[in-house]
Amino acid sequence: MIHRKPVGRLRNITVTVDPSGSAYASCLFDDSLEAPVHELSEKPKVIGIDLNLERLAVCSDGTEHGNPHALKQHEKKLKHKQKLLSKKCKGSKNWKKLKTEIAVLHEKIADIRKDSIHKMTKRIVCDSQADVIVIEDLNVSGMMRNHKLSKHVQDALFYEIRRQIEYKCLWYGKTLVMADRFFASSRTCSNCGWHNDGLTLGDRQWECPVCHTRHDRDRNADMNLASFGLKALAGDAGEAKPLEMPSVDDRAATHLRSMASVKEEKDHGYSMEASRFA
């Protein structure tokens, strides 16, 4: 049953077989349409996004996106099945049957993650009507080396969130600004700029001793990221790191430009088409 008729020329078909035995066919069509170019207004809407483990994404426009904790929901059942598997004779029918059940459970956990992240990134990029989206360049591999956080970081899929925001910004003509991973978004007071060097991961709220503003850690971080984005557009926030787009299907790698580079191109009279990266 086809719920949506494909448009364009069929490029390739990729067949994927999961460990549970489920098979999927991904069809890639070339519609010959170029990615839209978004023209920014004089006062663009900028949204900063702070990613964390408890609330998956907190945005500066006041919206929050919860973490489904997919692994936590099914961890007890998964451990029970894995314990039973260890007692089965390897290669037996019962062993193969239980192995398939565990694979199905792993797929269910992965599907919950992918579904929530796709919905969240779609809301952030499209439904928020933001012109500019600012996220942090998180050191995910470094976070995974922390044995206390690695399981939760893997369950949150920070890298996948960033990847989806990147290519959806390209698809829908949005501007994406990447803040450097050393940018102190949580430690800096969004009201007066005071830097809190003593802030730890356990401190979810703190008060600025200079302006006495009471901060929620995540809300303060997304406000600072939004301010970083505004400064990056004006070209006075240092470097706004240009992103190399990840491959989506068989698309060529593309670079998202910071608005600082776009502004520079306009000042020099370059056309938008000539400045497209290959």
Residue-level pLDDT at 1: 64
265 is catalytic: no
Which pTM value belongs to this model?
A: 0.72
| Of the listed ranges 78-82, 93-97, 229-233, the one predicted with least confidence | 229-233
31 is catalytic: no
pLDDT tens-digit series, residues 152-202 = 888 888 889 999 999 898 888 888 888 887 888 888 888 888 888 888 877
Q: Does domain 37-68+116-267 fall into CATH 3.30.450?
A: no
**List 136, 155, 166, 222, catalytic entry:** 136
Q: How far apart are CA 71 and CA 78, in angstroms?
A: 9
**List 131, 155, 166, 218, catalytic entry:** 218
236 is catalytic: no
Residue 40 has pLDDT above 90, yes or no: no
Residue 276 has pLDDT above 50, yes or no: no
Q: How far apart are CA 181 and CA 216, in angstroms?
A: 20
Position 234 confidence tier, pLDDT thresholds 50, 70, 90: low
Is pLDDT larger for residue 101 or for residue 41?
101
Residue-level pLDDT at 248: 34
**List 50, 131, 155, 166, catalytic entry:** 50
